Structure 1
């Protein structure tokens, strides 16, 4: 069920998507520029314990999730899931209303 958007609405949606994608690329750029600094600081301050791995991995997971969202590729909680959940909730409410009126 595809909504019938006007030209202005389609433009707004496209503009919103471009901002999301741009935000992802900005986040990725900061990740690429900052992590070498974190690695150098780790080796200068405490070369015996490589704690930078936690920063790189944690932030890397955030980058992956951000990319999935920006490019509409989430493996879960996508539009189909949302629509299915809405129908499920509405059906549950309808059933509860019918049961309460029947008693």
Structure 2
């Protein structure tokens, strides 16, 4: 019984650690976005009249949005706790 409890705690710890790492990664990405995009905008405004910086801003912004949704556990395609349910399902099949 003790082994099962320990395994469960290890699993929960690993999942929590993964979630914290994902959130840290998101905030790092957000910080980089908030620094780089204004620099690109500044360069763009001082070199040409074509607003090319909007393309990296939108592309990176979309990636940032997806990263944030993943980091904070929102998955509109699979619903809440989909991964957890699938893991349990596959473990029962074995």
Where on the TM-score scale, by shorter chain, does this alignment land: which range? 0.7 to 0.9
The alignment's TM-score, normalised by the length of structure 1, stands at 0.68
Q: 2:33 aligns with which of 31, 34, 37?
A: 31
Alignment of 1:14-93 (within 5 A): 14-46=16-48, 48-78=49-79, 79-80=81-82, 83=86
CA distance in structure 1 between the aligned counterparts of 2:70 and 2:77, rounded to whole angstroms: 10
Aligned-pair Cα RMSD in Å: 2.3
Q: CA deviation at 1:33?
A: 0.7
Structure 1 gap ranges (5+): 88-103
CA distance in structure 1 between the aligned counterparts of 2:39 and 2:82, rounded to whole angstroms: 41
The alignment's TM-score, normalised by the length of structure 2, stands at 0.74
The count of residues paired between Structure 1 and Structure 2 equals 81
CA distance in structure 2 between the aligned counterparts of 1:69 and 1:17, rounded to whole angstroms: 9
Which structure has the greater CA radius of gyration?
A: 1
Which has the higher relative contact order, 1 or 2, with Cα contacts under 8 A spaced 6 or more apart? 2
